[in-house]
Chain A
Amino acid sequence: QLQLRESGPGLVKPSETLSLTCTVSGGSISGSRYYWGWIRQPPGKGLEWIGSVYSSGSTYYNPSLWGRVTISVDTSKNQFSLKLTSVTAADTAVYYCARRDRLYDILTGYSPGWIDAWGQGTLVTVSS
């Protein structure tokens, strides 16, 4: 059974870089059917898509985080990672890693689809 598990520091200082890793077990990250990505949820609030990566390394990012976010994939370790630079208190959230179906549309090509698997989430607090 597919499992995703986030790991990384739970506390990050303002202006520093948030780094998280998602380890995937029970399935290969190298498959052609899925994107892999990150979603966050500030305490008591809704969901925000951060970005996604395909096994080839191609990425999609939320424009609201453009310039601060990098998502990369390591197929040899079956892991993918998130780096978010210059964090502020507004980046405090539960961060989820997730798997997204890979859609194909004849007009627009491939794009990320629905989210069919989630990690359990990890709380990252930005504070000095």
Chain B
Amino acid sequence: DIVLTQSPGTLSLSPGERATLSCRAGQTVSSSYLAWYQQKPGQAPRLLIYGASSRATGIPDRFSGSGSGTDFTLTINRLEPEDFAVYYCHHYGTSPGTFGPGTTVDIK
């Protein structure tokens, strides 16, 4: 299985700032099979990005994904109060696929 490492573990920012979250894979992720999810306390995760850079239905355009190979980035422009949450990356396309440990974006 491909091991995913996310950094930083916690990102403390203010509303209106930009968040840059990193997900690094231990091996090349083929076909950019990489997704990002947002999880708020007490809720199920929500799909934000799939295929490394495609936004899921209904996701605001302040969320963007980029990267290929082993290095992927989720960028959140102009943080809104509802964006403070935990973010997970996910490698799929193989069984079982793996999740990163998560990055917490909290209010500074």
Contacts and interface: CB of A to CB of B under 8 A. Distances in A.
Interface in A108-125: 108, 111-116, 118-121
B46 A118 contact: yes
Given A103-B93, A115-B35, A47 B45 contact: yes
Contact of A111 (B44, B50, B90, B95): B95
Contacts of A118: 44-46
Contact of B99 (A48, A63, A101, A103): A48
Interface residues of B, number: 25
B88 A46 contact: yes
A105 B101 CA distance: 27
21 contacts: A46-B88, A47-B45, A49-B96, A49-B97, A50-B96, A105-B31, A105-B93, A112-B93, A112-B95, A113-B50, A114-B50, A114-B51, A114-B92, A115-B37, A115-B45, A115-B90, A116-B47, A116-B56, A118-B46, A120-B44, A121-B44
7 interchain residue pairs of minimum CB distance: A118-B44, A114-B50, A62-B96, A114-B35, A60-B95, A47-B99, A49-B96
Interface of A: 46-51, 60-63, 96, 100-101, 103, 105, 108, 111-116, 118-121
